[in-house]
Amino acid sequence: MVLGAGLRCVPVSDIEIRKKLIHGGQLLNGLAGPTVMNAAPFLSTTWFSPDERATATAIASLLNSLGSAAAFLVGPLVVPPPNGTAHLLSQSNTQHIKDRIEAMLYAEFGMVSLIFSAALAYFPSRPPFPPSVAAASQRLSYRRSFCRLLSNFRFLMIALAYAIPLGVFSGWSGVLDLILTPIHVSQVDAGWIGFWSTVGGCVVGIAMARFADFIRGMLKFILLLLLSGATLASTWFTLTCLTTVTHLPLTTATLYTSCILLGIFLNSSVPIFFELFVETVYPVPEGISCGVVTFLSNVFMGVLLFFLTFYHTGKKYKPLEKFNSP
């Protein structure tokens, strides 16, 4: 992440070289992503007792999502949105946007370097005494672990149940401002939608994980509730966007509510899925099992983004109706 963030900050005047450096930096950042994304179950098993593990997994995995929530706000607040503003064609305003983007890249490089320095200074691998039998037990080797995972039909089904909705949603939410542009939703409004859906998912996810710690054996039931809610929310969002077919009103209230509920239900399911993976394939190491499902999730996210590069519409949508509060 330090190398990737540093490559994006190299001051090169040639735009083609700068573009290649930015792509290289994004590639390095992407390579580091799965390690951070699937570290939560390993940390919770290593450092916490069984009745605290689900909560620890939720906090570690969902606090990582808060960085994404902050990105929804920091981007539009630091860099002025160019869409819908004709005066940005002037040289001075274009230079202002460029300066703000570079300032944000330098700030990200500074934060990543600070965290990297802290990890070098002090980052113990495990506590002095193992908190549980699972933390002290011997795990399978990498080769035997992969063989066990690929031959476990139940794990593969759960992995697909995680990777398809979470992967597609991650890619979809990352370009939410572009998707909502045809219905005249600004970049700032799209950022607030992404922010509240992620924050709501973090709060609900930690609450659900705490409930799972108190009452064991409820992981499947909790996942069914969350995925059912996500299905209803996504159906609501789709029907309201198809106004020419369903004739349902597309207002600010319905758009915010459906998108935020979808994010809450899906984001809060992440730690529950991770705990279910660990229980299903034990004694496979947590990092390997969660790494496989994170890889699958990134594959589906990449497929969505690949097809979005070919998406183009010339349709004219009606402006979004403002929600009139009483």
Distances (CA, A) of 113 to 101, 102, 124, 178, 300: 18, 16, 19, 31, 30
Instruction: Give the per-residue pLDDT at 81.
Output: 64
Contact 105, 8 (CB under 8 A): yes
Mean pLDDT of 206-210: 82
Q: What is the pLDDT of residue 325?
A: 38
Q: Are 186 and 81 in contact (CB under 8 A)?
A: yes
* 179 vs 182: CA distance, rounded Å: 7
- Give the total residue count for the chain: 326
Q: Is residue 314's pLDDT more than 60?
A: no
Q: Span 250-265, mean pLDDT? A: 83
* The model scores a pTM over 0.75: no
pLDDT band at 312; cut points 50, 70, 90:
low
Cβ atoms within 10 Å, residue 34: 18
Closest CA to 201 of 171, 173, 243: 173
From 24-38, 130-144, 293-307, the region with the lowest mean pLDDT: 130-144
pLDDT at 136 (0 to 100) = 61
- Report how far apart, in Å, the C-alpha atoms of 297 and of each of 110, 186, 188, 191, 304 are: 29, 28, 27, 23, 11
Q: Residue 46 has which token pair?
A: 């290593």
> Which band of pLDDT confidence, cut at 50, 70 and 90, is reported for residue 92?
low
Strand, helix or coil for residue 58:
helix
CA 48 to chain CA centroid, nearest Å: 24
pLDDT confidence tier of residue 82, bands split at 50, 70 and 90: low
Angle at 198 between CA 183 and CA 187, to 5 degrees: 30
Residue with tokens 């697909």: 160
Rounded Cα distance between 66 and 58, Å, is 12
Backbone phi, then psi, for 321, in 5-degree steps?
-75, 130
In angstroms, what is the C-alpha Rg of the chain? Answer: 22
Tell me what pLDDT residue 4 has: 92
- Could you tell me which of 322, 40, 73 has the C-alpha nearest to residue 197? 73
What are the phi and psi torsion angles at 81 (to 5°)? -70, 130
pLDDT tens figures, 129-152: 777 666 666 777 778 888 888 888
The answer to whether residue 318 scores a pLDDT higher than 60 is: no
pLDDT tens string 44-67: 878 888 778 778 888 887 777 777
pLDDT in tens, 63-73: 777 777 777 77
